[in-house]
Amino acid sequence: MTDACVLSFTSALIVKRLKVDESRQINIEGSRILVVDDDEIIRKLLRRVLERSAFIVDEADSGEDAIKCVQENTPDLILLDVMMDGIDGFNTCRQAKDITGMTEVPIIFVTGRSDTGSIVEGLDAGGSDYITKPINRHEALARIRNHLKMRKLMHFQNEFIAGLKRANLAKNRIIGVASHDLRNPIASIRGLSEFLTELGPLNDEQKEIASTIQSTSDSMLHLVDELLDLSVIESGEERSEMQPHSIRDLVSSSLNIYQFTANKKEIRLKLIEEGEFSDLLMLDKMQFRRLIDNLLSNAVKYSPMGSNILLKIKQSEQVLQISVEDEGPGIPVNEMHKLFTDFGKTSVQPTGNETSTGLGLSICKKIAEAHRGKVYAENRTDRIGARFTVELDTKRLRAKVS
């Protein structure tokens, strides 16, 4: 399941749950409400109103007493006076929010101060709402019920998200296991087809069959490798090994390897350097090589015969920029959103009948983000073609080098 599918599925589940809850009404009866006020009359008034609405009510006559009550029994909502002896309501709110389990508990201030400064201070302290004195019973109950319902809905949503994360992790593990188990048989099929070709004289039909088996197994093996890469990256099972490396050495190594692939289409690869590259940067060598390899592979795949591909690296005090520019057909503007998504493909076709899984750029995006950077694409303005660029924070990466 892709990120987009997960998000869509999450939204659908939440909407469905909300509709179910609306039809049967969210049950907030029995919710525990803590009333904090140094005026006993106000506390008794609020207790009477709340208990008639089937709420459980705890009382505290000071900020210090409120913190103790919260520690003993986590409330579902707090009604908190602002002006009290000892610590005031704002400081009480801040301390309460620091207690485990209190982050999502709504705190409504009950006070006679209704000026903008007081309201802003209360919200900054972590408050959710304001009720002014003298208390209007109907208004107070409406606000309390709304906040309790919202808290319950947030709880449902968090449960859905947690469940989907577990499902996504399980999906990655299944894909990883399946890809790993499929890799060896497919590699064997490819090897046997090569052996068959070399074994003895074959007629034209047999050669075509052997060639088809070999090319098909190559495509399948490429897909399996990318699925395995994606599942490992998404699951977090691949431990990042950030070590000091020369960016020039890593890029040059990838360029040399892909020169052989480019030669088959008479494509010229050229490296252009700009800036100072004497400093080592903290990079995960395997992942970073995979990122550059995927960008070069993508450029070769969509470049016409006899064209040029430029690999530019530019390093400054702030930014490391690596760009791969091709002379292919470019990217349709209305299909830009498909790039860097799992299985995302545009209508542009490879120029040499190569296959595309739609996973290579998605892997690039995840690797760039793992290095706290970004990758993006654009069409060239100087000529026809596309440009894919990786940007990393040079200063951050260099600062980690001892």
CB 140 within 8 A of CB 49: yes
Residue 303: both structure tokens together:
């470049």
Give the type of residue at 203: N
- Categorize the per-residue pLDDT at 235 as very low, low, confident or very high, splitting at 50, 70 and 90: low
Asked if the model's pLDDT at residue 10 lies above 60, the reply is no
Please provide the average confidence, as pLDDT, over all residues in the chain: 83
Q: Could you report the per-residue pLDDT of 54-76, keeping only the tens digit for each?
A: 999 999 999 999 999 999 999 99
> What pLDDT is attached to residue 17?
52
Residue that wins the pLDDT comparison between 33 and 10: 33
**Angle, helix 3-24 to helix 137-199, in steps of 10 degrees:** 150
Q: Is 31's pLDDT higher than 50?
A: yes
Higher pLDDT, 292 or 193: 292
pLDDT at 236: 58
pLDDT value of position 135 = 85
CA dihedral 252, 258, 263, 268 (to 10 degrees): -50
Exposed e or buried b for every residue in 255-272, given b needs 16+ CB within 10 A?
A: beebeebbeebebebeee
HEC sequence for 192-239: HHHHHHHHCCCCHHHHHHHHHHHHHHHHHHHHHHHHHHHHHHHHCCCC
Hey, what CATH topology would domain 242-399 get?
Answer: Heat Shock Protein 90 (3.30.565)
Of the pLDDT bands very low, low, confident and very high (cuts 50, 70, 90), residue 22 is: very low
Kindly report which listed range (5-19, 54-68, 296-310) carries the lowest average pLDDT score.
5-19
Each residue's pLDDT tens digit, 178-191: 766 777 777 778 77
Residue range 271-295, pLDDT digits in tens: 999 887 767 888 888 888 889 988 9
The model's pLDDT over 143-161, given as tens digits with 9 standing for 90+, comes to 999 999 988 888 888 888 8
Instruction: Give Cα separations from 402 to 239, 246, 318 (angstroms).
Output: 21, 14, 18
Q: Please, are residues 341 and 4 in contact by the beta-carbon 8 Å criterion?
A: yes
Model pTM? 0.53
Cβ neighbourhood burial of 93 (10 Å; 0-12, 13-18, 19+): buried
Least confident of 87-96, 122-131, 320-329, 375-384: 122-131
Between 216 and 169, whose confidence is greater?
A: 216
Task: Please write the tens of the pLDDT for every residue from 346-377.
Answer: 999 988 877 777 788 888 898 898 888 999 99
